[in-house]
Structure 1
Amino acid sequence: MIWLRWLLFPFTILYMIIIWTRNRLYDHHILKSKSFDFPTIVIGNLAIGGTGKSPMTEFLIRLLKDKHTLATLSRGYGRKTNGFRYVSESSSAEEVGDEPLQFKRKFPTVTVSVSEDRCFGIEQLKATHDIILLDDAFQHRKLQPSFSILLFDYRSIDKLPLLLPTGNYRDMMMESHRADVLIVTKSPAEIRPDERSNIEKRLRKHNQTAPIYFTHIQYNTGIDAKGRLFTGDLSDTDVLLITGIANPAPLIQYLSPLVNRLVHMPFADHHTFSSLDIQKIEEMYKGITNTKKIFLTTEKDFQRLDYTPLHQYPFYYIPIEIGFEEGCQHIFETKIFDHINEYIPSK
Structure 2
Amino acid sequence: MSLLENLGVSLPIVQAPMAGVSTPRLCAAVSNAGALGSIGVGATDDAGAREMIAGVRALTARPFNVNVFVHQPAQRNIAREMAWISAMTPLFDKYRVQPPTELRPIYKSFVEDDDMLALLIETAPAVVSFHFGLPDAARISALKEAGCLLLATTTNLEDAVAARNAGIDGVVAQGWEAGGHRGVFDQDAPDSRLGTMALTRLLVQQCGLPVIAAGGIMDGQGIRAALDLGAISAQLGTAFVACPESSADAAYRKALASPSAMNTVMTSAISGRPARGLPNKFTQWGSIVGLPHPGYPMTYDAGKALIAAAKATGETGYAAQWAGQGAPLSRNFPAADLVKILSAELQSGIR
After TM superposition, is the score higher than 0.5? no
Return the structure number with greater helix share: 2
Return the structure number with greater strand share: 1
Rg larger for: 1
**TM-score where L is the length of structure 1:** 0.38
